[in-house]
Amino acid sequence: MRGAGEPPFPVAQPAGTGGEACEDSRPGPAADTPMGSERTEIRKRQMATTPETPAPPDPRDFILNFMGRKSSHTQMPCICSGPNVNGLTVRNQEEERARRTSHELQAEGIPNCEESPAPTLEEVNAWAQSFDKLMLTPAGRNAFREFLRTEFSEENMLFWMACEELKQESNKSVIEEKARLIYEDYISILSPKEVSLDSRVREVINRNMLEPSQHTFDDAQLQIYTLMHRDSYPRFMNSAIYKDLLQSLSEKSIEA
């Protein structure tokens, strides 16, 4: 018998109130919500299948050895984060810069050659005797420069010529301006026409740039001259450019 006021059926108390819930309200073994180790295992599988975001490039790669002076037409590369970051290595940047050099030189309106009379057969034969004789004549420099352009290293000759031009200046303000342009065009690591110099020579240039003179780039010019002599000159002597020119002049000499 139930006492007065008692409900006709037992009432299940809500969970969390201290009472016991009815058996029908407890989740059974087939519940959809993962618990404990199941939830941890699912999280591990999700992490394993999620691609990692590539790390952004190190900003120091772009400013290493840079003097701290930025040209008005030169900007630091954009360093962004996120999945679309360009992860080029320094070597890839150098290769890309080499591929772009020839096109950018033409876009800047650099003349194709120095003014000079056509070389004679004797002059062309003399080029094979020494690199110095090749570089002494405008015709020799023009032919060698054409060969360097095919190897995407024309900036070496352009830098050497710019240094020679700087040595002819005597006006201080003109010297400072030309030295600044040479630095930005051929020394700065941000330039597509940067020449290859060792760290010692770069340190000398950075010191000299505090008070530029006609001889600010003498050490660098000698290093590039030596590089062209040892590396590019032997290939030039075996190139089609030199052989075709020599053959053409030899045939003309025979006809005459």
pLDDT digits (tens, 9 = 90+) for 174-201: 999 999 999 999 999 999 999 999 999 9
Helix axes of 172-182 and 154-167: crossing angle, nearest 10 degrees: 170
More confident residue, 86 or 79: 86
More confident residue, 78 or 243: 243
Dihedral angle sign, alpha carbons of residues 33, 37, 41, 44: positive
Q: Which residue type does 111 have? A: P
Architecture of domain 131-255: Orthogonal Bundle (1.10)
pLDDT digits (tens, 9 = 90+) for 107-137: 344 445 678 788 999 999 999 999 999 999 9
Assess contact for 114 and 90: CB atoms under 8 A.
no
Backbone angles phi, psi at 49, to 5 degrees: -95, -5
Q: Is the whole model's pTM more than 0.75, yes or no?
A: no
Which pLDDT score, from 0 to 100, does residue 62 have? 35
Q: How far apart are CA 72 and CA 214, in angstroms?
A: 23
Which pLDDT score, from 0 to 100, does residue 187 have? 97
Which pLDDT score, from 0 to 100, does residue 116 have? 78
More confident residue, 120 or 80: 120
CA dist 14 → 11, 26, 99, 138, 151 (Å): 10, 11, 75, 100, 84
pLDDT digits (tens, 9 = 90+) for 11-65: 455 444 444 444 454 544 444 444 555 655 666 566 555 445 445 444 444 333 3
- What are the sequence ranges of the domains in the chain? 131-255
Q: Three-state SS for 254?
A: helix
Which pLDDT score, from 0 to 100, does residue 254 have? 86
Assess contact for 64 and 57: CB atoms under 8 A.
no
Backbone angles phi, psi at 186, to 5 degrees: -125, -15
- 57-67: burial string, b at 16+ Cβ within 10 Å, e else: beeeeeeeeee
